[in-house]
Structure 1
Amino acid sequence: MVADAPDAVRPRFWLWVEFAALYIGAPLAIALFMPGRHLFTALALFSVAGMLLLWRTGGFGWRSLVRGWSRMPWLEVLALSAATLLAGTVILYFTYPERLFAMLRSGMLPLIWVFYPILSALPQELIFRPLFFHRYAALLPQGQGAIAINAAIFSFAHLMYWSSVVAVLTFVGGWIFARAYLRHGFPAAWLLHAVAGNLLFTTGMGAYFYTGNVVRPF
């Protein structure tokens, strides 16, 4: 599964070091030290670094990032939409009932629906799906094992929110997005992520996913 470019055959030890720094060290440093207001700047920098690493690896079909709409699993999109609305509603009903669907009254929802898919879901998907499964393929097990690791890494990347609710939701979401990427291509993973994120904010789950609400437990 290793790509055929020179950079892809570097010693596995250094791939492991790079993998650990990118997917474990960086999220840990962000969670421990970075002010929440710098989140999108950090995400932009990671996206650029990720694309450079993907380019250095070689053997990646860049056109795959915009192809695959004909394979879109629309039933999965519909099912995830319903499950996301239900989960967000139930969680907020028992935790922050005053914030349930508050975004519908704030006037901010149209902006979120426009910019979240581009500024948040897209860079996250680039880092955690194409880069993860292409550059580090030689380090991963086959099949469900790779998806499980991807979901765990994706969940860990959200450590900055210091929330068990966020950890569980992002693990489940990471599993769904990774599975969609491997089965249907990048557009499917991106759309599923964008729809799930937008619907979570619609229900009011910004109470958990908005960096301004983050309180470090130390």
Structure 2
Amino acid sequence: MFNDLSLYNTPSDRRLKLEFALFYLAAPVSIAVLLPPTMMFPALFAFTGLGLGLLNFTPDFRWAELRHGWREWTWREVAFFAVVTLGFCTGLIYALRPEAAFFLLRQRPELLAMIWLGYPLVSALPQELLFRPLFFRRYGTILPEGARADILNAAIFAFAHLMYWSWLVALMTFAGGLLFSWAYRQRGSFVYAVLLHAVAGNILFAVGLGVYFYSGNVVRPF
């Protein structure tokens, strides 16, 4: 008689849908609406820890697979992306907040250096774990097919930044989500997704757009 015990360890679609809704929808709303700005980052660390736990217990997931396709990119591509991102972000900051343009670079270069060193590991890496491998590996059976899954991924990634209550943050994170999802899914490289995320984030802070990602500047619309 056929008896595959792994079937009993695989979450049902109904359970996955509930889990997905709680983790990717209810949690961001709770953080954005219920918590004061000073508690946002402790809540985000808890959110990250929970997500990593879910990923660790995802059936058939192995941490070693994150190394797959680690060289499926070129420095030329990264340089082109960096130049385009720098140009776009520079135009944006001068159009919207010229007083903040390159503020850290001009006034606090030591703080910018700390951000550049810490952001890839403390922010880009855990975010990519939660919104790429966890999203696609754990919840793949309940996702739409093809490009719709990438669009949903980018939308969820943008929604996770609801706490900043900024249309600009939503648009930037949605665009970033599309690109990072492409790197992870089409190039098959988690490493490339993290690298692009790190480059984008560091440029954003250098240019001055980090002002939109500072919890002290959050203004709720209610």
The TM-score, its normalising length taken from structure 2, stands at 0.90
Q: 2:176 aligns with which of 163, 173, 186?
A: 173
Q: Is the 8 A contact 1:125 1:190 kept in 2?
A: yes
Question: Closer, same or farther in 2 for the Cα pair 1:73/1:142, shift >3 Å?
Answer: farther
Q: Is the 8 A contact 2:89 2:209 kept in 1?
A: yes
Confirm whether residue 198 of structure 1 aligns to residue 194 of structure 2.
no
Q: Which amino acid aligns with 1:191?
A: L
Q: CA deviation at 1:119?
A: 1.1
Q: Is the 8 A contact 1:5 1:57 kept in 2?
A: no
Q: Which stretch of structure 1 is more off in the superposition, 117-126 or 45-54?
A: 45-54
Q: For each residue in 1:77-96, what CA deviation from the matched residue of structure 2 results, as whole angstroms up to 9, or x when unmatched?
A: 22321222122111111111
Once the two structures are aligned, what percentage of the paired residues are identical? Answer: 49
Gaps of 5+ in 1: none
CA distance in 1, matches of 2:212, 2:190: 26
CA distance in 2, matches of 1:131, 1:37: 27
Q: CA deviation at 1:153?
A: 0.2
Question: Closer, same or farther in 2 for the Cα pair 1:181/1:116, shift >3 Å?
Answer: same
Q: CA deviation at 1:10?
A: 2.6
State the match for 1:61 in structure 2. Answer: 62
Q: CA deviation at 1:76?
A: 3.3
Question: Closer, same or farther in 2 for the Cα pair 1:188/1:98, shift >3 Å?
Answer: same
Q: Is the 8 A contact 1:73 1:188 kept in 2?
A: no
Q: For each residue in 1:156-202, what CA deviation from the matched residue of structure 2 results, as whole angstroms up to 9, or x when unmatched?
A: 01111111111111000000001101123111111110110000000
SS at the partner of 1:145? Answer: helix
Confirm whether residue 184 of structure 1 aligns to residue 188 of structure 2.
yes
State the match for 1:93 in structure 2. Answer: 94
State the match for 1:31 in structure 2. Answer: 32
Q: Is the 8 A contact 1:72 1:187 kept in 2?
A: no
Q: CA deviation at 1:125?
A: 0.7
Structure number with greater Rg is 2
Q: Is the 8 A contact 1:177 1:193 kept in 2?
A: yes
CA distance in 2, matches of 1:65, 1:75: 23
C-alpha RMSD of matched pairs (Å): 1.7
Q: CA deviation at 1:6?
A: 4.2
Provide the aligned length of Structure 1 versus Structure 2: 215
Question: Closer, same or farther in 2 for the Cα pair 1:79/1:36, shift >3 Å?
Answer: farther
Q: Is the 8 A contact 2:89 2:204 kept in 1?
A: yes
Gaps of 5+ in 2: none
Q: Which stretch of structure 1 is more off in the superposition, 92-101 or 81-90?
A: 81-90
State the match for 2:133 in structure 1. Answer: 130
The TM-score, its normalising length taken from structure 1, stands at 0.92
CA distance in 2, matches of 1:7, 1:84: 46
Q: Which stretch of structure 1 is more off in the superposition, 150-159 or 88-97?
A: 88-97
CA distance in 2, matches of 1:187, 1:85: 21
CA distance in 2, matches of 1:165, 1:215: 14
What stretches of structure 1 move > 6 A for 4+ residues in a row?
Answer: none
Q: CA deviation at 1:67?
A: 4.4
